[in-house]
Structure 1
């Protein structure tokens, strides 16, 4: 019996993953599982570049705006839910499309997460207070001192990742990195990974234009409506936190918009750094004819038959 297939579409933000995933879903007559953690929340629409209604209607989508910003939803929760959904789709379709630029969430589906011991929740609460009072630099320096390996491995500008590593270090008395076994979990499917790429200047230009479009289509009003929830983890993200600083009178609107662009470009750079470490990704220029990608996929799928 032929094994089920998961086609994973990755790449930096604004590169065209959504469009490609829809075309692949239509060709293979299947459904799309989103691994973009910013698009999980129903209150966040413009600032997370959620697919349009037309795009969502072009193919069945899962994990798009299925949670509230008030909900706690971890990457472990997503791994469990996504695997259940993929297996359900595989009951009727040999192929499923996984799309998203959140590297950790993509890896969780394909390889599974390392398992960490439970620690006292008060540790995280204390670290969150320190983040607020002392800033991220203080926590980064502590992690560098007690677990330099984790410091070098993690996306160090992400406060959630830094706090997670520190709470494990403090709660167990052992380095966070000692729990990173990188043992892949057994999956009921084979994965074929497709990556979209472009020159850095092209990516940055596409990002700048996307941000301008977000502003034109109402991002400021969307952020204003969410301002009262600004302390929630879901809103500590590019596109919102810069506008919150503008609402607080800390920076001008023009500077806030320029910061959104700059921080999104930095985010794209981190995405590329993450994905380039993965030797299983088959990279294609973002302008390539989709039929060439389909031809490649068809040939790869035949090898698994």
Structure 2
């Protein structure tokens, strides 16, 4: 079979919906491997807080882009595009199907459609903005972004400080809005793509998210947070599940501060799930299923191949 007839099966959706279990089942059905499309599970040091698959799940089928990098390395969508295309080529050399599983929409888009090459950002500028944000807060960052790049700000996730910092650093480094490099030109890929989205009723999904955070705490998330405390200023730790603990006023955390951090993780995880669904719903190429509709998913894949 030529590579042009190979097929990439994408399984996407919000956090805690059940992507991992379904992707493993599909990979087992087709005797193939899973490529993660999660921007945090690639980091070796971040396991519990990223809901990384358990060891038995990782052993069930081959996995790519999990535990592949250190938190001190920078990984972005452009890098992921090249890495994931390499993983696909490796899998397709042996199998006709590969599975991608994850909730990082930009990474999935980069693999399926390509991403525009962009000039590099001055790290000193980005670090300076990060330092000012930590001192002056989100409102200052939003105002600065609106002044520097109103077009980007109008369509940005205005509560997502990491993306605002990156976009602000980009325009201050290059003098050009990051929007200038979003041509939306879709690159042709030498394989077919089947996109499957998973969703649940909102109240069910939110209950699963809250329960997952509780389970993380039971599994030792606080120990992981403490081990990574010396690295808390790294951009890769400025993410849901970690930053909420490091933002507290006291350290070690008091019982009240710990409870407040856990509540924030739940809230921010629910907010993130909502943004993920908004992103994936914009792509009309997805067919949507509940995570327990295994047979329906397999039937749909079979019909689409």
Q: By the TM > 0.5 criterion, same fold?
A: yes
Q: More displaced, 202-211 or 71-80?
A: 71-80
Unmatched segments (≥5 aa) in structure 2: none
Q: 1:300 aligns with which of 294, 298, 304?
A: 304
Q: More displaced, 113-122 or 262-271?
A: 113-122
Which residue of structure 1 lines up, in the alignment, with residue 85 of structure 2?
83
Which residue of structure 1 lines up, in the alignment, with residue 128 of structure 2?
126
In 2: Cα distance, 1:191 partner to 1:285 partner? 20
Q: More displaced, 24-33 or 70-79?
A: 70-79
Q: What is the DSSP-based 3-state SS (H/G/I as helix, E as strand, rest coil) of the residue aligned with 2:228?
A: helix
Which residue of structure 2 lines up, in the alignment, with residue 98 of structure 1?
100
Q: CA deviation at 1:43?
A: 0.8
Q: What is the DSSP-based 3-state SS (H/G/I as helix, E as strand, rest coil) of the residue aligned with 1:174?
A: coil
In the TM superposition, what whole-angstrom CA distance separates every residue of 1:136-171 from its partner, at most 9, and x where no partner exists? 322222222333332233333333321222223223
Contact kept? 1:119, 1:167, Cα under 8 Å: yes
Q: 1:213 aligns with which of 212, 215, 218?
A: 215
In 2: Cα distance, 1:44 partner to 1:14 partner? 17
Q: 1:183 aligns with which of 168, 181, 185?
A: 185
Q: More displaced, 215-224 or 156-165?
A: 156-165
Which residue of structure 1 lines up, in the alignment, with residue 271 of structure 2?
266
Q: More displaced, 24-33 or 175-184?
A: 175-184
Q: 2:295 aligns with which of 288, 291, 298?
A: 291
User: For this pair of structures, how many residues does the alignment match?
Assistant: 300
Unmatched segments (≥5 aa) in structure 1: none
Q: What is the DSSP-based 3-state SS (H/G/I as helix, E as strand, rest coil) of the residue aligned with 1:42?
A: coil
TM-score (norm 1): 0.93
Contact kept? 2:19, 2:198, Cα under 8 Å: yes
Contact kept? 1:147, 1:177, Cα under 8 Å: no
TM-score (norm 2): 0.93
Q: CA deviation at 1:119?
A: 4.5
Which residue of structure 1 lines up, in the alignment, with residue 286 of structure 2?
281
Which residue of structure 2 lines up, in the alignment, with residue 140 of structure 1?
142
Which residue of structure 2 lines up, in the alignment, with residue 32 of structure 1?
34
Cα gap change, 1:225 to 1:172, in 2 (>3 Å): closer
Q: More displaced, 272-281 or 154-163?
A: 154-163
Which residue of structure 2 lines up, in the alignment, with residue 52 of structure 1?
54
In the TM superposition, what whole-angstrom CA distance separates every residue of 1:65-113 from its partner, at most 9, and x where no partner exists? 1111111222211111111111111111111000000111111111111
Alignment pair present for 1:71 and 2:76: no
Q: CA deviation at 1:190?
A: 1.5
